[in-house]
């Protein structure tokens, strides 16, 4: 018995761009950082160890363009800018929590499989 598979597994999605954004290295980490409320650029950089200012800026701009976050600039001196999740961005918190739970539950098995294949 053969099963016919569509070679384009994501054909029903219409586009793979949202998948690219969600699968980006920093997007999910930024979402977690914004889960409890707005943060300034410098406040985001602290927990995102290893991210450069350029990559953080590019990620925030892309997420804002996709409607996942908002950027609010306050007319103050010195200037103050805050980033916050939009309602659309908040919809990613539940699936992200499920992925984190799966990872925590299966990490020992994944590491064991990795070790077996390396040895």
| Domain residue ranges in the chain | 14-118
Q: What does the pLDDT read at residue 90?
A: 96
Residue 82: pLDDT band (50, 70, 90) is very high
Topology classification of domain 14-118: Arc Repressor Mutant, subunit A (1.10.10)
Residue 117: pLDDT band (50, 70, 90) is confident
Task: Provide the mean pLDDT of the chain.
Answer: 85
Q: What does the pLDDT read at residue 74?
A: 94
SS (H, E, C) the chain: CCCCCCCCCCHHHCCCHHHHHHHCCCHHHHHHHHCCCCEEHHHHHCCCCCCCHHHHHHHHHHHHHCCCEEEEEECCCCCEEEEEECHHHHCCHHHHHHHHHHHHHHHHHHHHHHHHHHC
Residue 110 in this model has a pLDDT that exceeds 60 = yes
């Amino acid at each position: 018995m053969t099963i016919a598979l569509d070679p384009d597994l994501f054909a029903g999605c219409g586009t793979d761009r949202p998948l690219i954004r969600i699968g980006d290295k920093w997007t999910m980490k930024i979402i977690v950082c914004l889960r409890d409320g707005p943060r300034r650029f410098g406040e985001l950089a602290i927990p995102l160890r290893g991210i450069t200012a350029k990559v953080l800026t590019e990620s925030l701009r892309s997420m804002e363009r996709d409607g996942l976050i908002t950027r609010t600039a306050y007319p103050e001196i010195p200037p103050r800018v805050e980033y916050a999740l939009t309602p659309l961005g908040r919809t990613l918190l539940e699936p992200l929590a499920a992925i984190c739970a799966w990872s925590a539950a299966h990490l020992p098995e994944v590491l064991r499989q990795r070790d077996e294949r390396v040895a």
